Amino acid sequence: MTVSRLSQGLADYLGHLVAERGLAANTVAAYRRDLDRYLAYLAQLGLTRPDQIESGQVDGFTGYLRGLGLAPASIARTVAAVRGLHRFWAAEGLTRLDPAAEVAPPAIGRRLPKALSLEQVDALIGAAGASAAGAGPIELRDGALVELLYGSGARISEVVALDVDEVRRLLDDPSLGLLLKGKGGKQRLALVGGFARQALDAYLVRGRPGLAASGRPVPPALFLNARGGRLSRQSAFNRVQALARRAGIAVEVSPHTLRHSYATHLIDGGADLRVVQELLGHASVATTQLYTLVTVDHLREVYRAAHPRAI
């Protein structure tokens, strides 16, 4: 037996994640990176077969990751991937026991999502310059991008995957909502506010044609880059960060910050938690409950700052 037995076992597991669990390509790639590191660690120990691995060695891998200086969240994610790999190997009969069953990932503090204030959201939208006289295609695109992210609570991956026809149907009949392709290929319906619809209409009429006039075959994508191709997730991320800097927002801002802000402002406005869960596409209401903690934390800060006898 050689180390290829471990590599083959990993390849079988990754194939299982795609075929049986339907995970997205980006998610499977993240699993591969974490588990390649695990297999490299096992190779250093001279292990070449799944049935040679014991719980002490899996536990030692956690210490090895700490020694690399990885953040607790990264370590927890990697250990979770290792546990999944060993469960699969045990279920497939490659090992008699699961050596990772008793190895727990490190505890990590719960990170509450950071939301922008309404004033900061306005400043971010204003920084795009879409409403300025003579706004060009890039300004109109960026304005529509930010308005759609905040007005729908969509993930950036869902937004850059949109095609023009899908948005035209929304603009023709807003009651239809917008069908988004979420994690794992799941679809969900998002509602889109009037400001976002106006920004999208302006972009489609006066902005996108300019970006599409590159002489190349134009994709059906809603958001185009300066060369007329589909705007990538990373480019959209960079654009939002650039707008935040232009707006003078001191905190770190990403497209997901706008999703957090969307949810937090809905709950601040009295929206029911289950409704927000449905709008965000969360599988569990426990995930959505994080936003109620943000709101309570904000109320506590205001109380301490404003009440003369607050502790």
Computed on alpha carbons and rounded to an integer, the radius of gyration of the chain in Å comes to 23
Q: Which of 5, 233, 246, 256 is catalytic?
A: 256
Which candidate in 13, 38, 150, 291 is catalytic? 291
- The answer to whether residue 186 is catalytic is no
86 catalytic residue (yes or no): no
The single residue of 32, 114, 169, 282 carrying the catalytic annotation is 282
Sign for the CA dihedral angle at 11, 12, 17, 22 comes to positive
- Which of 83, 141, 155, 208 does the annotation list as catalytic? 155
Active site residue 282: yes
Q: Which of 37, 83, 208, 259 is catalytic?
A: 259
Confirm whether 110 is a catalytic residue.
no
- Which of 49, 183, 233, 246 is the catalytic position? 183
What residues are labeled active site? 155, 183, 256, 259, 282, 291
